[in-house]
Every structure is written in structure tokens, then in C-alpha cells.
């Protein structure tokens, strides 16, 4: 990256909620990215306003994940398979990334953040890696998370770009793009359920891991807009809303906030985890945008 941190027209290094962050601006859009977890908490466009949801009850503190935006789940998704002492969704979202600079590319500004394995990460995940995260802000938000195996052994990992979309009321929205895909239902415990309906509506707690590479749209009639989650090199899509009871059980989630969000996550999880031989790289990308309906 050529430009020194803070020196480009579109990138500002700021402090938000007491933590170092970047404000990126391009093409009338604006994003806020915390170095803590490389966590994007806001993306707004001139035409469509805010596309991401962040809880008013979120923690902003070392060791705690921010609730909302786009938590970066790595190197595992959900609970750790073997160790109960390790945090859900991996350590990336609670670890500080290094800001390597930003540059203008076409109509966008692109910031690069890096996380390199350390004695601390090896305690939870015994592998050497370099993870590079590119946050591209323009008419759309493009997030690319690339992992390089810098160790001598095979590296297997899961990843999710855990995007919380802002909606007017999850009970009114229609999600499309997943019909024909099968999913594991974390609420009922069933595996390999076929999504037959073209349109998915929400009527209760929803927590599904779909095997799908497809683009997903979420139509929000009240806002008169459709949110679009596109992706590349991602074999699974997670769809999540906690509904009433689960929202109540989460300290960093307001009891009445659950209707305002739905997560659509570009992931490589479960049996679709990424297997990287020595020196190999893999990048998972999601692209978030909106259109008027």
C-alpha cells in the first residue's frame, strides 16, 4: 500500500467509543472500521442511508466483541469444536489488527488491515498465518479476508463475514436467493433441510447454515429498498435472527432490538472449512449494497 495512514483524502484515523478506528469515505459513502477485530460497524451511502445494524447496547472494549456491523469470525465459527474455554467465533473479532494504509482505487477507497499469528494466537490455534483484510468503500462495501498459511503444516480454518443488515422490521422482510439449497438448522438441530420456498420470511428464531454460493437479497418494503449480499469463494451462508428469548439472554443486545436486524453471513464453515497447504492463500469476499424498490 502506497499511502501513509491518515494521509489520503478519504481515510481518517479517529477514536470512536475510546477505540482506534478508521473513517473511510468515497463516492458519497462512508464506513467506520475499528482496529479492534477489524470490525466494520457502519456503512452508509448517500442514496440508501445506513445498511448495517449495530446494537445500542454493544460493548466497545478489549476482549469483547462488538455487537453488530460485520464481526470477522476466524479461525473457527460458532463454539470451538474441542475447547470450551475458547471464545465463540474465534479470536479475530476481539484482537487488534494493524492498519497498513489505504489507497484510492477507482471510485473506492481501500484500507488494508493485517493480523499475524503470535504466541498468543498459537495458544488457541497452533498455526502460523498472515491474515489480510481489505475493506473497500464506494457505492458498495466490499470486504475481502485472505489467509496465507506461513507455517509448515496444513492449516484448516473457518471464516464468516458475519454481516448484520439493518431492516425496518425482520417480520416484514423477504429473503431470496437460497431456494434449492440445503441447510443445517441450529434451532431445531436438523441437518440437510431443503429450502423449497423461493421467499424466506421470518416468524421465529432463525439460525441456519446453508450450503450455497448464491447472492442473497433482503427486500424491505417499509424502507423501499433491497439489500444485496453478494460473495465469492464462500461455500456457506449463515442466516440468523435471535428473536425474543435469545435477544433477552444476550447482555449486549437490547430486548427490543431484534426486529431491526438480520444477519446474512458469507462463510466457509463446518465441512466447508478452508484447507490450506503450506504457502497457499485463500480469500473470502462479501459485497454489500442496496437498491431502491
List of residues contacting ligand BG6 (CB under 6 A): 65, 78, 88-89, 162, 186, 207, 238, 240, 263, 265
In Å, how far from its chain's centre is CA 51? 13
50 catalytic residue (yes or no): no
How far apart CA 258 and CA 247 sit, in angstroms, is 7
Minimum distance from residue 267 beta carbon to ligand BG6 (Å): 8
- The Cβ of residue 254 has, within 10 Å, a number of other Cβ atoms equal to 15
Residue pair 281/146 in contact (Cβ under 8 Å)? The answer is: yes
- Strand 141-149 versus strand 281-292 pairing type: antiparallel
Contacts of 61 (CB under 8 A, 6+ apart): none
- Residue whose CB is less far from ligand BG6, 82 or 152: 82
Q: How far is the CB of 245 from ligand BG6 (least distance, A)?
A: 12
- Residue 195: what are its φ and ψ, rounded to 5°? -85, 105
The residue sitting closest to ligand BG6, measured at its beta carbon, is 88
Catalytic, 162? Answer yes
Q: Rounded to the nearest 10 degrees, how much is the dihedral formed by the CA atoms of 177, 181, 186, 187?
A: 70
* Shortest distance in whole angstroms from residue 278 CB to ligand BG6: 30
Which of 65/288 has CB closer to ligand BG6? 65
In angstroms, what is the minimal distance from the CB of 60 to ligand BG6?
15
Residue 24 or 65: the one with the smaller Cβ distance to ligand BG6 is 65
Nearer to ligand BG6, 78 or 283 (CB): 78
Cis preceding-peptide flag for 260 (omega within 30 of 0): no
Q: Which is catalytic among the residues 39, 158, 162, 257?
A: 162
- Residues catalogued as catalytic: 162, 265
Amino acid at each position: 500500500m502506497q499511502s501513509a495512514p491518515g494521509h489520503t483524502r478519504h481515510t481518517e484515523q479517529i477514536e470512536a467509543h475510546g477505540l482506534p478506528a478508521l473513517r473511510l469515505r468515497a463516492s458519497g459513502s462512508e464506513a467506520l472500521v475499528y482496529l479492534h477485530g477489524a470490525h466494520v460497524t457502519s456503512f452508509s451511502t448517500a442514496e440508501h442511508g445506513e445498511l448495517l445494524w449495530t446494537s445500542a447496547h454493544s460493548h466497545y472494549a478489549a476482549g469483547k466483541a462488538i455487537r453488530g456491523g460485520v464481526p470477522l469470525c476466524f479461525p473457527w465459527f460458532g463454539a470451538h469444536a474441542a475447547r470450551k474455554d475458547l471464545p465463540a467465533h474465534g479470536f479475530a473479532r476481539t484482537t487488534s489488527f494493524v492498519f497498513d494504509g489505504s489507497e484510492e482505487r477507482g471510485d473506492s477507497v481501500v484500507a488494508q488491515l493485517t493480523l499475524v499469528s503470535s504466541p498468543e494466537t498459537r495458544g488457541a490455534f497452533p498455526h502460523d498465518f498472515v491474515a489480510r483484510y481489505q475493506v473497500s468503500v464506494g457505492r458498495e462495501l466490499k470486504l475481502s479476508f485472505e489467509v496465507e498459511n506461513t507455517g509448515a503444516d496444513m492449516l484448516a480454518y473457518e471464516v464468516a463475514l458475519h454481516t448484520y443488515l439493518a431492516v425496518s422490521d425482520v417480520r416484514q422482510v423477504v429473503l431470496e436467493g437460497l431456494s434449492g439449497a440445503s441447510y443445517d438448522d441450529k434451532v431445531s438441530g436438523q441437518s440437510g433441510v431443503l429450502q423449497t420456498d423461493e421467499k424466506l420470511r421470518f416468524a421465529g428464531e432463525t439460525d441456519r447454515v446453508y450450503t450455497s454460493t448464491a447472492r442473497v437479497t433482503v427486500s424491505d418494503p417499509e424502507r423501499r429498498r433491497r439489500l444485496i449480499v453478494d460473495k465469492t469463494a464462500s461455500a456457506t451462508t449463515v442466516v440468523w435472527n435471535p428473536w425474543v428469548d435469545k435477544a433477552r439472554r444476550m447482555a449486549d443486545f437490547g430486548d427490543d432490538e431484534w426486529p431491526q436486524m438480520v444477519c446474512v453471513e458469507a462463510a466457509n464453515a463446518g465441512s466447508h472449512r478452508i484447507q490450506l497447504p503450506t504457502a497457499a492463500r485463500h480469500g473470502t469476499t462479501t459485497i454489500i449494497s442496496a437498491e431502491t424498490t
